[in-house]
Amino acid sequence: MADYLASKKPTKIIAIEEHFTTPLYHRYVPSGDYRKFFLASRSEQSGHDIVIQLDDIADERLRCMDAAGIDVQVLSFTQPGAQNFPADIAIPLAKDANDRLYNAIEKHPQRFGRIRRAAHC
């Protein structure tokens, strides 16, 4: 059994549907009192600023992944997603999120995967 286990490649740790946000998202999705309270209390409990970390799909996210032993994150645009907006907002919001996601994956193809969002209009 030990020979069998020694011959196996290590299993990758993959985190599925890890959310991210964008500056354009913040422009269209206001933070109401409940959302502000939820994000602030969760940030305090976890010891890090969730809002700042959701905006990062680069170096800090990679550092946190390494610290947690995560090999790959499958990234997904947060909710409410682009499909919940009228076309004049949904299309640029989805395009912006997908472009940012594409760029992050191009820079770190071994670390990030994606769940694309479409504007259902």
**Long-range contacts of residues 8-14, Cβ cutoff 8 Å, at least 24 apart:** 12/71, 12/72, 13/69, 13/70, 13/71, 13/72, 14/70, 14/71, 14/72, 14/73, 14/74, 14/113
Per-residue pLDDT, 97: 92
At residue 8, the pLDDT reads: 64
Contact predicate 108/70, CB 8 Å: no
- pLDDT tens figures, 27-84: 887 777 766 777 778 778 877 788 888 899 999 999 999 999 999 999 998 888 888 8
* Mean pLDDT, residues 100-116 taken together: 90
The neighbour count for residue 46, using CB atoms within 10 Å, is 10
Give the C-alpha separation, 76 to 113, whole Å.
9
pLDDT more than 70, % of the chain: 86
Give the C-alpha separation, 117 to 29, whole Å: 16
Average pLDDT taken over every residue of the chain: 84
pLDDT number for residue 1? 52
The SS3 assignment for 32 reads coil
Distance, CA of 96 to CA of 114 (rounded, Å): 14
